[in-house]
Amino acid sequence: MAPKFVFLSKNISIYNTILEKYLVGIVLSEKDSDVLVQFSCLEKPISLNKKNVHFFDPTKTGDAFDKKVCNVCCKLLDTSLFSKNQNGKNNRSVRRPSCDNCRKVIDGVSMSASEKNKWNKIKPNMEIFECPICRKKTIPGLTSKVVLDHDHKTGKGRAWICDSCNTGLGRFKDDIELLESAIQYLKKG
């Protein structure tokens, strides 16, 4: 039997935490007027009155539907609140996995125009380039793309790096603890 999903119909305060309206959870059990729900932001499930939740079909969410679940805040939101990221098969619009509000936090502080200009003067192009992270050697402008990495807390540039390493840092949220956790995971083999 497929799991059932709900979202909160209003803000709820529990364990000194405010669970916000539209937060998605998995139904663990149901009885009469109550549901036992596990939310990813809580360590243990909570019992809620069914009046405080709405059931929904997760197979009817995503880019092709009116609603989509944010991969950061875990809320069921209007798909229009997710920026377009690219075009998929048959020119179908593909939107970012995180909502615009969460993207603002993820993106952090942008680089200033003067900071970008300073770094653009030393951008590698049509020359041998070695990524300072993965050490891969390429020829930017011919065989690969380089990206100006920056500190998302300060907006200051750090270095030109390969596109793959930039994506990797972004996936780990530029978080040293997450990267160290990944290293420990890899060491376990």
CATH number for the domain that contains residue 158:
3.40.1800.10
CATH classification at residue 51: 2.30.30
Three-class SS of 115-170: HHHHHHCCCCCCCCEECCCCCCEECECCCECEEEEECCCCCCEEEEEEHHHHHHHH
Q: What is residue 130's predicted lDDT score, i.e. its pLDDT?
A: 96
- Residue 1 or 78, more confident: 78
pLDDT higher than threshold 90 for residue 189: no
Domain C-terminal end among 106, 122, 146: 106
Query: In whole angstroms, how large is the CA radius of gyration of the chain?
Result: 22
Q: Could you tell me if 117 and 168 lie in one domain?
A: yes
Q: Could you tell me if 97 and 39 lie in one domain?
A: no
Element of type H or E holding 36: strand 34-39
Q: Which residues contact 84 (CB under 8 A, 6 or more apart)?
A: 93, 94, 95, 96
pLDDT higher than threshold 80 for residue 90: no
Q: Could you tell me if 124 and 183 lie in one domain?
A: yes
Q: Could you tell me if 30 and 66 lie in one domain?
A: no
- Residue 57's pLDDT band (cuts 50, 70, 90): very high
Domain C-terminal end among 106, 122, 144: 106
Q: Mean pLDDT, to the nearest integer, of 169-187?
A: 93
What is the pTM (predicted TM-score) of this model? 0.77
> How many domains does the chain fold into?
3
Element of type H or E holding 178: helix 176-188
Which domain does 133 fall in, by range? 113-188
pLDDT higher than threshold 90 for residue 14: no
Q: Could you tell me if 36 and 98 lie in one domain?
A: no
DSSP 37: E
The encoded tokens of residue 139 equal 């020829």
